[in-house]
Amino acid sequence: MDKIPVFFTPKMVAESGCESPSASKPPKVVASWQEKFPIDVLVPPRVTIDDYALAHDREWVERVLSCQADNGFGNRSKAVAESLPYTSGAMLQAARLAITTGAVAVAPCSGFHHAGHHTAQGFCTFNGLMVAALALKADGIKRVGILDLDMHYGNGTAEIIRMFGHGSFITHFTAGLEWTQRNQAEEFLTSKLASVLDSMIGCDVVLYQAGADAHVDDPYGGWMTTDQLRRRDAIVFDVLRREGVPVAWNLAGGYQVEEDGSIPKVLEIHDNTMYECVRRHVEGERCKAGVGD
């Protein structure tokens, strides 16, 4: 692999209409990556209502997309509604390409794991993780791992898995269920994460939420330092690469916003995730000087 495939289009970008920067951060993240890393930006297709209906109530999906029901930001923004099929499309296409290549692909988007079967909450409207997983099942894929290392409990993902009995098809781990305290970070990195990854070695693909909101200074998070988050990513990519398990990863949360509206601390965390991804998956390539030194 010469470059890391990144599925991005400006059509997946919108202003959220609330304090969350997540819906508008993809172009900032991608621009930062383009300056530093060997990436190949690819345009994702939209998912369809049929795709969404694999995980969600069809009527509710139609109401959200037509701005007749609230999105995960608590409003009925047309711009947000128009962006949603592309964020889920990026996740699904990244997973399909990772499986095809046996390597890795990226969906630089957020806003998935709190969305339930017919509910939007916590800055999440549709559950792109479950939409991707169930579309892959329809493709004939036998087992999918969802490695959710966002700060918060992926309650929407867990709900949909339970509701439709997908536990035998999906191996789901959400750190936010039990691992949220500062004094747990080293134990998680030195012990727990390895056992979680062991449970996913037989998966055809792992969907990895590399959340930046687990950072100790995040207003909605707080249990890992920048270095620990980078170690987290290194462990994930090391183990899954060594075991030959394809990975499709996304950005998930990250809410450190400066007074001027910029997000340099969030960008640093997402840069570090890409750095560790590149180190494992791009042979013969070197990251530009100054990143991760």
> Can you list the domains of the chain with their CATH numbers?
4-281 (3.40.800.20)
Cα torsion angle, 191, 196, 199, 200, sign: negative
Decide if 134 contacts 93 (C-beta within 8 A): no
Distance (Å, rounded) from C-alpha 133 to C-alpha 170? 8
pTM: 0.95
Distance (Å, rounded) from C-alpha 44 to C-alpha 66? 21
Could you tell me where the beta strands, DSSP code E, fall in the chain?
4-7, 39-42, 104-107, 144-148, 170-174, 205-209, 247-250
pLDDT tens, residue order, the chain (293 aa): 999 999 999 999 998 877 778 778 999 999 999 999 999 999 999 999 999 999 999 999 999 999 999 999 999 999 999 999 999 999 999 999 999 999 999 999 999 999 999 999 999 999 999 999 999 999 999 999 999 999 999 999 999 999 999 889 999 999 999 999 999 999 999 999 999 999 999 999 999 999 999 999 999 988 999 999 999 999 999 999 999 999 999 999 999 999 998 999 999 999 999 999 999 999 534 443 334 44
Distance (Å, rounded) from C-alpha 240 to C-alpha 243? 5
